[in-house]
Amino acid sequence: MENYEVTDITIIGAGPVGLFTAFYAGMREASLKIIDSLPEVGGQLTALYPDKYIYDVAGFPGVKAKDLIAELHKQALTFSPTICLNEQVQDIIQLENGTYKIFTSKGIHLSKTIILSAGAGAFEPRRLKLDHASEFEGNTLHYFVKQLDQFTDKQVLVCGGGDSAVDWALALEQVARNVTLIHRRPEFRAHEHSLTQLRKSSVRIHTPFELTEIKGNQGKVEQVVIQEVKGDNYLTFDVDEVIVNYGFITNIGPIKTWGIDTTKNAVHVNGKMETSLPGIFAAGDICFYDGKPKLIATGFGEATIAVNHAKSYLDPKAKLSVHSTHLFSK
């Protein structure tokens, strides 16, 4: 075996769940490492919508994604984990002694156990299938929002029917000159409380309508045309910015080739957060089981289960779980 340091737990993915997994693994006094393909910690929250409010984290009625990541990162650093960024995991093999050899774009790591917390894997937005739409992308046609203030005093059209579309419409109402929200179905799929807020807001709503044409010059949107789905009604109005929230196409990439049981873009886990390979666990959006709600809060709970059972895998005599109040001396 090569002369590499062997880590107790290697966490693949440095999103919110991966960061909390690192903290909890440190509380269980496991040596640990985090590997992520992105240049910054935070996963999609950092890469796609740092200014978006997150509402499913206990203790926060609402917290901006970038602020949540900052606190999770600070928390994870409590136990000084090794964090390897800009490094994509390509393959893994289990050696005869049970240790996993992890091959990445930058080298090799050895670990006794692995916890997958790679979110939904690689992602790209579902793009508008309209003529000339690409001419506006990266300028006034957006698939995610990095900074809310770039829409100050603008006329904004938001397209989509899920939580992201509704949340952005409500957030933009505070800074934009006006906001219009369209969805191709009569009903939205967002949380009930968000929909109550939407109905009380000044956001103009058109359902069931879809975007059929963008008009403008030199990458700048000037007008849009929307059409009633299965109808003959058309509306044309002035717009400065268009935000499309049609979701993302995700791909867990090389994980599918590792011999782990998967369903579409998720790995199967049991009640211990174990995958089908011994010593490999999963937490967050990357894992699937019946009845799972895809929430950050759910991932935090899964992280503690995965870490506790990884600890038990490493040392069968170790307690399966401990109360966090016992881990720090005052």
Q: Is the separation of the CB atoms in 245 and 254 below 8 Å?
A: no
d(CA 190, CA 203): 15
Stated as kind and residue range, the H or E segment containing 19 is helix 16-27
Distance of CA 230 to the CA centre of its chain: 34
Cα(259)–Cα(256) distance, integer angstroms: 7
- Residue 295: strand, helix, or coil: coil
Please identify every stretch of the chain with a pLDDT value under 50, giving residue numbers as ranges.
1, 330
Of all helices (H) and strands (E), which one includes residue 82? Answer: strand 82-84
- Give the 3-state secondary structure of residue 214: strand
**Whole-number Å distance between alpha carbons of 91 and 115:** 14
C-alpha atoms less than 13 angstroms from C-alpha of 99 in its C-beta half-sphere: 15
CA distance 314 to 159: 48
Rounded Cα distance, 36 and 204, in Å: 40
Would you state the pLDDT for residue 330?
A: 45
Q: Model's pTM, two decimal places?
A: 0.80
**pLDDT at res. 97:** 95
Structure tokens of 85?
């960024």
Rounded Cα gap, residues 117 and 21, in angstroms: 8
pLDDT value for 122: 66
Half-sphere exposure of 246 (CA within 13 A, CB side): 14
Question: Helix (H, G, I), strand (E, B), or coil: what is residue 209?
Answer: strand
Of the candidates 216, 207, 151, the residue with the CA atom closest to the CA atom of residue 179: 151
Question: Alpha-carbon dihedral of residues 236, 151, 68, 53, nearest 10 degrees?
Answer: -40
CA distance 115 to 11: 5
pLDDT digits (tens, 9 = 90+) for 39-53: 999 998 988 888 888
